[in-house]
Amino acid sequence: MSDTDSFIDEVTEEVRRDRLFALLKRYGWLAVLLVLVLVGGAAWREYAAARDRAAAQALGDEILAALDADEAAARVDALAAIDAPTPGAQAVLAMLTAAEAGRADENDVAAQSLEAVAANGDVPEIYREIAGFKALSRPDSGLSVEERRVGLEALAVPGKPLRLLAEEQLALIEIEEGARDEAVARLRRIIEDSETSTGLRQRASQLIVSLGGTLEAG
């Protein structure tokens, strides 16, 4: 390489450095701001995650302490005194309260707790459907057969997470009404469904046998 070429390269490099320094002087504050935003955002996310973990742990400790009470009625009162911070936590708390109220024979409290969850649009859909299913399947729900059937049919449509459990309850309603053949046919469909759990398949099979039916359509 000639001296001229070397000199041109050096000048070009100096020009590049000068331009870079000029850009840093002009826009360097943006880079600093970006770094601060990234660092601050990461710190806030870590703080928020730690806060949420602490809140969840505190809520869990409160629930466990409430469930440690000896009497079901005392557990209901202790659960009712807990302040859940989110709609999802409120739904879980209400369903636990309903379960304990049922054990304490406080059926009105149980029904009200479940109905409150099922009707709360702020609660995730899965919690609303679980609460609705529990309310419909309670033996002391006070609902008519037709009301139970309508509610369960709404949960038994394809795509619903509690579809097969709702089908099981519909079969029990058919047995209650003396519609044996319809119940057996529904139970067979449950057994044949690929999404049916082992426990549900066993219950359906036992019901069919107890009704005098066979496990295969014939």
Residue 185 has pLDDT above 80, yes or no: yes
pLDDT tens string 9-41: 554 666 566 666 665 566 655 666 666 777 777
Q: Which residue bears the tokens 């609660």?
A: 123
* Number of other residues whose CB lies within 10 A of the CB of residue 112: 16
Please check whether residue 115 is in contact with residue 135, taking contact to mean a CB–CB distance below 8 angstroms. yes
Residue 50 has pLDDT above 60, yes or no: yes
What's the pTM?
0.66
Please check whether residue 151 is in contact with residue 136, taking contact to mean a CB–CB distance below 8 angstroms. yes
pLDDT band at residue 79 using 50, 70 and 90 as cut-offs: confident
**Greatest alpha-carbon span in the chain:** 107
The long-range contacts involving 133-142, CB below 8 angstroms and separated by at least 24 positions, are 133/162, 133/165, 133/166, 133/169, 134/95, 134/98, 135/111, 136/169, 137/169, 138/102, 138/107, 138/110, 138/111, 138/114, 140/107, 141/111, 142/107, 142/111
40-49, 151-160, 196-205, range with the lowest pLDDT: 40-49
Please check whether residue 63 is in contact with residue 74, taking contact to mean a CB–CB distance below 8 angstroms. no
Q: What is the mean pLDDT of residues 51-75?
A: 82
The span from the CA of 194 to the CA of 74, in Å, is: 43
Q: What pLDDT is attached to residue 44?
A: 66
Q: What pLDDT is attached to residue 8?
A: 55
* Number of other residues whose CB lies within 10 A of the CB of residue 102: 21
C-alpha distances in Å from residue 117, one per residue of 50, 61, 178: 28, 22, 33
pLDDT band at residue 209 using 50, 70 and 90 as cut-offs: very high
pLDDT band at residue 188 using 50, 70 and 90 as cut-offs: very high
18-27, 79-88, 180-189 — which one is most confidently predicted on average?
A: 180-189
Residue 180 has pLDDT above 90, yes or no: yes
Portion of the chain with pLDDT greater than 70, in percent: 80
**Residue 159 burial (10 A CB sphere; 0-12, 13-18, 19+):** exposed
pLDDT tens string 116-149: 888 888 888 998 999 999 988 887 777 889 999 9
Give the end-to-end CA distance of the chain in Å, rounded to a whole number: 96
* Number of other residues whose CB lies within 10 A of the CB of residue 111: 20
pLDDT tens string 94-114: 888 888 888 888 888 888 888
